[in-house]
Amino acid sequence: MNRSSHRLWVNASLFDGLNGAAEPMAVAVQAGRIAWLKTMSELSADDRSGFECIDVAGALMTPGLIDCHTHLVFGGNRAGEFEARLEGSSYEDIARAGGGIISTVCATRAATEDELFESARPRLQALMADGVTTVEIKSGYGLTLESELKMLRVARRLGRELPVRVVTTLLGAHALPPEYKDNADGYIDLVCNRMIPAAAEGLADAVDVFCENIAFSVAQCERVYAAARAHGLAIKGHTEQLSNLGGSAAAARAGALSVDHIEYLDEDGVKALAEAGTVATLLPGAFFILRETRVPPIELLRRYRVPMALATDANPGTSPIFSLKLMLNMACTLFRLTPIEALRGVTAHSARALGLQEEVGRIAPGLQADFCLWDTLNPAELAYSVGLPRLVQRIVAGECA
């Protein structure tokens, strides 16, 4: 028996992705997957046989954290827009003046794949240092066929070269590029007829859209959803961030894994999410940077039992934040989630937002052995304190990474 592939972590204070355990736990891993869990009082000498035993002395064990909404691959930066917003310009003002997403598009188009990879790597490493073992990376700053595919290739390369699972999403319908000014339907034709078929050839796992007055209409987004389904790609949506267009309900009808931002989501939209099993992804980083005041409908989401995921939205303009642990604190302080709700939001519920609930996001038999050990006994501590290096060990597929 290869003991290096058979490991037993003992005396863990366990949060399994949904709930905390009442007693210290033992977690057995074989060939990169969780084989079984037992309380320490149940564990026998025979159970230990054949395993390399690792005593964590009461440290908190959680699933590896999952950042289910990021834009880590981009060129340039938008520090100037940060200043402009502080001087009174709105997100819409900046976008309509040619800034915002389009300014990043120009820098991203000009960058080589190697340049994009080298700039994205430290961003991803920052998330990994926070305990992230799975991350979603979107395109959306190319807005041409080749530039969008270039971004997706970089995202795939990050997943190959770093010890982290990378899920990729085509966000071709992120903004209207200058070449298609006043021709949004023509650009949607390009997304549906060329980008999606090309990305479906192994580069993308899902397709996303920005459904908003400054981006694309519900009808245009529905065309994108139909093309995604036709090519076997999952669906996600940036919806109800700045206004209520009914984009979340449309995404739910199309079978979306998640809808993200959702500050302006109403009760009908929440009902649609509940009926479809669509996850609501909260992005407090963008809310904070944009100094928004409209809070997502947390009480409605609780009432209708809609799973709430939590992500950084790491991007160059509206959430230049590369700490998922900081999002735990922001979700509690800004949106009034409980610490356990926030922790579920970066584990079990974020896995659902990526369609990976049978692979990661929980500590349960059969799932991949991705988990973190933290220098605390209390799960609430991860949301409560900011800046302390609580991460003791990050395990990916049963190996320290």
What is the CATH classification number for the domain harbouring 272?
Answer: 3.20.20.140
Tell me the CATH number at 376.
2.30.40.10
CB 190 within 8 A of CB 183: no
Residue identified by tokens 């076997």 is 232
Residues 6+ apart with CB under 8 A from 9: 26, 27, 28, 29, 54, 56, 61
At residue 84, the pLDDT reads 83
Angle subtended at Cα 315 by Cα 223 and Cα 72, rounded to the nearest 5 degrees:
85
Both 57 and 38 in a single domain? Answer: yes
- Domain that includes residue 343, residue range: 65-353
Q: How many CB atoms neighbour CB 112 within 10 A?
A: 11
Both 337 and 367 in a single domain? Answer: no
Both 40 and 167 in a single domain? Answer: no
CB 284 within 8 A of CB 327: yes
Instruction: Tell me phi and psi for residue 99, to 5 degrees.
Output: -90, -150
| Residue at 206 is within a domain | yes
Amino acid (one-letter) located at 54? I
Of 156, 127, 170, 30, whose CA–CA distance to 350 is shortest? 127
Both 317 and 379 in a single domain? Answer: no
Both 30 and 105 in a single domain? Answer: no
| Residue at 153 is within a domain | yes
Both 53 and 77 in a single domain? Answer: no
Instruction: Tell me phi and psi for residue 102, to 5 degrees.
Output: -65, -35
Of 295, 280, 281, 283, whose CA–CA distance to 320 is shortest? 283
Burial of 44 (0-12, 13-18, 19+ CB in 10 A): exposed
CA-CA-CA-CA dihedral for 249, 297, 288, 382, to nearest 10: -110
At residue 4, the pLDDT reads 55
Of 11, 13, 12, 8, whose CA–CA distance to 53 is shortest? 8
Residue identified by tokens 């079990």 is 348
| Residue at 358 is within a domain | no
At residue 1, the pLDDT reads 38
Of 237, 232, 315, whose CA–CA distance to 278 is shortest? 237
Both 380 and 347 in a single domain? Answer: no
| Residue at 247 is within a domain | yes
Give pLDDT < 50 ranges for the chain. 1-2
At residue 2, the pLDDT reads 46
| Residue at 249 is within a domain | yes
End-to-end CA distance of the chain: 23
DSSP conformational letter for 88? T
Domain count, the chain: 2
